[in-house]
Structure 1
Amino acid sequence: MIRRKREIGELEEEQLKNVYLKCKEFYMEAAKQILKRFPFDDKARQALKCLKMQNPKAILDLEIKKKFPSIADLHYFFPKICPNNITELDREWRMLRNVDFSFNQNKTPDIIDLWKHVQELRNGDESQTFPTLCELVKKLLCLPHSSTAVERLFSAINIMKTKLRNIISTTAIKEVLHT
């Protein structure tokens, strides 16, 4: 066995294995905690599967494109976000699947770059090619991925509204939060 000189600050093999093991345990525990807190029933799983439509691979990869022939399912899971004109939305989705993108074939663009590119596509009369679809994607990408912001707000309110300040008005709380 050939031994190489160890760099300063470099971990030994046993220490490195221990770090990997601890990381794996952390991710496993995080997944268990997420499953406890969120209702991942069939409807939720199908909704998450529908959100994969936004992924650049789902738009650029021919094999994955076949899995999402229509965007109508998205309307079922997100009726308040999707536009009322589902026919126009589905027409734009089918049209988008036939667009030849000029991205580097070796590297898939990230989701923001792809949808910026789609939003910049224009028709011959300079009108946006996919207005309904881009509006929907903007709304979907803005969905909160956690309740952290709400929890932070409740913490701030709890700090302000103490036993000594228990009669503080809602208006005063808003003004202090704004400040």
Structure 2
Amino acid sequence: MDRPCRKLTTSDPKYFIKLEDIYFGAKVELPILNGNVEVMELKNFRLRALEFYVELCQQIKKRFNFENPVLQFISNFNPKNALSGEVNSIVAGSMTHFPNLVTDIEKLNSEWRLIASCDELKVKSEKILEEFWSYAFDLKNNLGVVMFPSLNNFVKGILCLPHSSASAEKFSLSLIF
């Protein structure tokens, strides 16, 4: 279900992923699959991980104003939003919020407008943001020329924005120790 972040209720269990669907990576999954983990131990581990994720989401919600115009602008780069074609131009947001990332506004905006009509990208709309843009940045036209060089630099600049989750990190340490 797609809901704006500002409207999510982070403590409502109906939005939680099922405990058995939480993925911890291959190194954790292997002992589980081999039966080397007690059932109750695994359940407690998953519950603590869920507690961590809930705390993380609550901290993010506290720290970020999701009504902020910069965050609203950045949401355009979500793969589904970028491919929708609903935002014809990123000129205003680019120049208002990130003028130092723009070298040629006309080229940047032309590349942005091309994203929505690129059939090769539409099949990647379900990918996570980083995978989608990584794929987009590698796309070449029939002449073998990269299709989105300006957009590449701009989006990479946005994805490098600093953030902090210190409270959630502190909570994760308490899970480990």
From 100, 107, 121, the equivalent of 1:80 is: 100
**Structure 1 residues 74 and 147: alpha-carbon distance in aligned structure 2, compared to 1, 3 A threshold:** farther
User: In the alignment, which residue of structure 1 is the partner of 2:149?
Assistant: 131
The AA in structure 1 aligned to 2:134 is K
Q: CA deviation at 1:26?
A: 5.0
1:97-176 to structure 2, matched below 5 A, reads: 97-101=116-120, 108-146=126-164
Percent identical among aligned pairs is: 26
Of Structure 1 and Structure 2, which has the larger fraction of its residues in helix? 2
What does residue 93 of structure 1 align with? 112
Q: List gaps (5 residues or longer) in structure 1.
A: 1-8, 12-18, 149-179
- Contact between 1:47 and 1:74, CA under 8 Å: does it hold in 2? no
1:127, distance to aligned residue in structure 2 (A): 1.3
Change (3 A) 1:147 1:110: closer
| Alpha-carbon separation, structure 2, partners of 1:147 and 1:26 | 10
- The reply on whether 1:70 has 2:92 as its aligned counterpart is no
1:30 equivalent in structure 2: 59
C-alpha displacement at 1:145, in angstroms? 1.5
2:56/2:165 contact within 8 Å kept: no
Contact 2:101/2:153 (<8 A) preserved: no
Partner Cα distance (2:60, 2:160) in 1:
23
The Cα shift of 1:95 comes to 1.0
Most deviating of 24-33 and 124-133 = 24-33
> Deviation of residue 147 (structure 1)?
8.2
Higher relative contact order (CA 8 A, sep 6+): 2
10 and 56 in structure 1: CA distance in 2 versus 1, 3 angstrom threshold: same
1:111, distance to aligned residue in structure 2 (A): 0.8
Amino acid of the structure 2 residue aligned with 1:120: D
Is the partner of 2:119 in helix, strand or coil?
Answer: coil
Consecutive unaligned residues in structure 2, runs of 5 or more: 1-37, 41-47, 167-177
Structure 2 residue aligned with 1:50, among 69, 73, 76?
73
Q: State the 1:54 CA deviation.
A: 1.4
Once residues 78 and 100 of structure 1 are traced to their aligned partners in structure 2, the CA distance between those partners, rounded to angstroms, is 28
Query: Match for residue 172 of structure 2?
Result: none
Aligned residues: 129
CA distance in 2, matches of 1:96, 1:114: 11
CA distance 1:125–1:52, change in 2 (3 Å)? same
The structure with more radius of gyration: 1
The amino acid of 1:118's aligned partner reads: A
Q: State the SS of the aligned residue for 2:142.
A: coil
Secondary structure at the aligned position of 1:125 is classed as: coil
Q: Which runs of 4+ in 1 moved over 2 A?
A: 22-35, 101-105
Q: 1:143 to 1:29 in 2, by over 3 A?
A: closer
Residue deviations 1:131-176, cap 9 Å, x none?
A: 000111111111111286xxxxxxxxxxxxxxxxxxxxxxxxxxxx
